[in-house]
Amino acid sequence: MDVKELVNKFKEYSNADTTLLELAYDFAKKAHGEQKRASGEMYFIHVYEVAVILCNLRMDINTVSAVLLHDVLEDTQVTPDILNKEFGEEVCNLVD
């Protein structure tokens, strides 16, 4: 479960620049930190696995990036302004 695996999965169907995906991965991983789900599983595992599912569905870079970030507004101290500044309006709107 690392960024290289996710990037490789995305590159199986897309030639898009993966910088945004890599930034979203790092940002979400840091934002969720040591958060755990009720099951005791690290929270980031959930967003990563959903990103893999979306890669299997051949979604675009903004959608896969947004899914990595989909819980940062609800479950961390990240604000929409921060997300918009870091990832742009489209990704922020998808997350919101």
- Contact predicate 72/31, CB 8 Å: yes
75 is catalytic: yes
Give the distance, in angstroms, between the CA of residue 45 and the centroid of all CA atoms in the same chain: 11
Q: Which candidate in 12, 74, 81, 89 is catalytic?
A: 74
Q: Which candidate in 75, 81, 86, 96 is catalytic?
A: 75
> If we measure between CA atoms, which residue out of 49, 50, 60, 71 comes closest to residue 21?
60
22 is catalytic: no
Where in the sequence numbering do the catalytic residues fall?
Answer: 74-75
